[in-house]
Structure formats: C-alpha cells, structure tokens
Amino acid sequence: MKCGIVGLPNVGKSTLFNCLSNAKAQSANYPFCTIEPNVGTVSVPDQRLFELEKLVNPERVLPAVVEIVDIAGLVKGASKGEGLGNQFLATIRECEAIIHVLRCFENDNIIHVEGSVDPLRDKDIIDIELQLKDGEALNKAVDKAKKHIKSGKKEDVLTYEILVKLTAFVEQGNNAREFQTDDFGQKIMSEVQLLTNKPILYVCNVDENSIKNGNPWISKIEEMATKEKAEVVVLAAQIEADINELDTFEERQMFLEELGLTEPGVNRLIRKAYDLLKLQTYFTAGVKEVRAWTIEKGFTAPQAAGVIHTDFEKGFIRAEVIKFDDYVKYGSEAKIKEAGKMGVEGKEYVVQDGDIMHFRFNV
C-alpha cells in the first residue's frame, strides 16, 4: 500500500518526505530537484502502542508502517510529456492514494514555477494534467467497450454507457472521484485505474508564522476540499524538517510547544494517510514483541492472521481477541481471562481496529 506525494515543482514535497520517512530525499531550492522517485517507509504513530508497551514490557515494539513515494514535480503539459511528464504519471498510477502538496508560503527566494503563490491555481494545473491522462485512458476503454456491446449483453451495454458518461465528465474538467454512480459503476471505474479516482489528501505547506497566526489560503483550500470530500492537513514542512534534525526528544518537544503543537503535524498526516488507504491496525502483544499489524478495513480473522504468515491463514482454527480498552482496564492477559473478557472468535469474525489478537492454527 503506497501513498504518492504530488505537486508542482519546488513546493516542498521532498521536504515533507524527509520529515515523514527514514529515507532521505534531496531537497533544494530549484524546480525538478527530484527526478527519480524516493521511496520510504513511515511508522504510523499510535499512542496505543506506548500503552501496551508499559503493560507488557516487551523486548521490542514494532509500529505499523506505510510506504510513501516522493515524486518528481509536475508542470503544465506533463500529460503530453512536458517536464518529467509521463514517468511522473506512471509513478502515481502505482500508488493507492495521493498526498497533494500545495505551497501556501510566501518566500521570494524560493522559485515558484508559476511566478506567484496561488495554491488553488496550482491545484487546477495538476488536476488538468491528471484529467488529460485519464481522458486518454478512458477513450481507450470506451473503444474497447464499444466492441463488446455487439454481444448484446446487458452488462456490456451498461459498461459502455457508464464509460461514455464518465469520459465526458472528466473531459469537462472534473476529477473521476466526484463522478456519481452506483456500485457497478464504481467497479467499472476502478478497472480503468484512473489517476483522478484515487483518494486524495491536501497538505497546505505553510510557513512557521502561519502555524501560529493562520494563513489566508487555508480556508479556501478547506472549502475546495469539502466539495471534493477530501481531507486537509496544515503543516509547515520546512520547520518540521528542521525540528526533526534535533538530537533529543526533549529538544524536539520544546520547539513543537513553541509552535503551539503537541505533536508534529506530520503525525496527523500519517494517520490520515493510513485512513485514506482504508487501513486499520490490530496488535499482537507478547513478552518478545508488541506489534501493530496493518490490515484493510473489513478483514476477517483468518485474513488478518495471513498478514503475519500465510500458514496462519491456511491453518486457522480460532482467534482469541482482547479489546484494547479491556487490556488497559485489567492490565494483564491473566486478569482479562479471569474477568471473562477474552473473546473466542471463528473464521467469520471481522477484526476491529485496536483488537489484540492471538491466533490458534495448525499446519
């Protein structure tokens, strides 16, 4: 599961990537600094892990991770191969969700490829390029679907009709994710793997001052995002990157507090990205290791077990489930059992966010 960071050149994508990830990307004040995509894994901050650590006292703690890709900047004409055009778009296609960075900071020393700060205009530039690319893909899909309607099958006719409507919708300058359709339409749409149908989250990259005093662009971006049913995160990538460089936790905390923050803005971003990918967490807790595992929402117990090892899924017998709140309330597995709070669940059980799981299986 990957999240791609997109935006115009020189808006702070690599700076953001560096605050998020252990991998380091080159970030500098010139457009097209990034050419090859940078890939990094990001730990998902989760307070519950700290609480379980206190209770279980394990040898190690492993958080959930998501993969983040820092992509080259996109310019007008990218869909026709301008800038790093097509390569850029291919990388986005491989991502399951998009983080779109919008420059909201003024700084005359940092080149803006459009000559001025206007994040809504910038957003439109990117949207148009992605829509053009989707238009190409859709026209091909329509041609293909047209051949199938000769079969006379109702489903084929419907597919064709939906694709024609969707193509017109996108060609009129809309993102596919806003197309109103039923489940069947959604399925058809997902098969075309459109760039503008990926779930999206906007990052307002502001300066330090805006964190304390606000920034006029934020409300405009929020308004736009509400219409799109997308999420917005406001953060100052440069200052967060600087804070990240500090050696001790105490120092970092002190600087954050000076900004009026209790945690880095990127933590909020990671959690939202995790949500955007429709992911959730369950835990395993033992003396050797307390660990967060990533599953898709709706996974059953055997599917969740399969994330640890395929044998766990194949040989699944049952799962013992403790609710996180019970773990904290009773303090140990023994006491939870005593209180009759350990659930025993079968193959049909749908794992809930925060469940602490033990799997019984044979191979």
Ligand X SMILES: Nc1ncnc2c1ncn2[C@@H]1O[C@H](COP(=O)(O)OP(=O)(O)OP(=O)(O)O)[C@@H](O)[C@H]1O
Buried b (16+ CB within 10 A) or exposed e, 107-117: eeeeebbeeeb
Pick 66 or 75: Cβ nearer ligand X: 75
Q: Cβ-closest residue to ligand X?
A: 73
Site for ligand X contains 27 (CB under 6 A): yes
Residue 4 labelled as part of a binding site = no
Site for ligand X contains 73 (CB under 6 A): yes
Residues 252/244, Cβ–Cβ less than 8 Å:
yes
Site for Mg ion contains 18 (CB under 5 A): no
Cα–Cα distance, 65 to 293 (Å, whole number)? 8
Cα–Cα distance, 95 to 37 (Å, whole number)? 12
Site for ligand X contains 14 (CB under 6 A): yes
C-alpha distances (whole Å) from 140 to each of 133, 146, 310 are 11, 10, 38
Residue 167 labelled as part of a binding site = no
Binding mask 24-43 for Mg ion (x = CB under 5 A): ---------xx---------
Cα–Cα distance, 13 to 89 (Å, whole number)? 16
Among 14, 210, 238, 280, indicate the residue that binds Mg ion (CB under 5 A): 14
Instruction: Answer with the entry of Mg ion, ligand X, none that 110 interacts with (C-beta below 5 to 8 A by kind).
Output: ligand X
Residue 21 labelled as part of a binding site = no
What is the sign of the dihedral through the CA atoms of 263, 97, 197 and 88? positive
Q: Write out the two tokens for 289.
A: 């290791």
Instruction: Answer with the entry of ligand X, Mg ion, none that 11 interacts with (C-beta below 5 to 8 A by kind).
Output: ligand X
Site for ligand X contains 209 (CB under 6 A): no
Residues counted in the chain: 363
Cα–Cα distance, 289 to 271 (Å, whole number)? 22
Provide, rounded to whole angstroms, the least separation between the CB of residue 84 and ligand X.
Answer: 9
Taking each helix axis from N to C end, the angle separating 249-258 and 237-245, rounded to the nearest 10 degrees, works out to: 150
Cα–Cα distance, 283 to 63 (Å, whole number)? 9
Q: Cβ-closest residue to Mg ion?
A: 34
Pick 5 or 49: Cβ nearer Mg ion: 5
CB neighbours (10 Å) of residue 120? 12
Q: Residue for token digits 């047209």?
A: 146
Helices (DSSP H) in 172-231: which residue ranges?
A: 183-192, 208-213, 216-228
Site for ligand X contains 40 (CB under 6 A): no
Provide, rounded to whole angstroms, the least separation between the CB of residue 161 and Mg ion.
Answer: 42
Residue 332 labelled as part of a binding site = no
Residues 12/237, Cβ–Cβ less than 8 Å:
yes
- Residues 147-206 binding Mg ion (CB under 5 A) are none
- Residues 223-262 binding ligand X (CB under 6 A) are 236-238
Binding mask 77-106 for ligand X (x = CB under 6 A): ----------------------------x-
Instruction: Answer with the entry of Mg ion, ligand X, none that 112 interacts with (C-beta below 5 to 8 A by kind).
Output: none
Point out which residues bind ligand X (CB under 6 A). 7, 9-15, 27-29, 31-34, 72-73, 105, 107, 110, 205-207, 236-238
- Residues contributing to the annotated binding site: 10-15
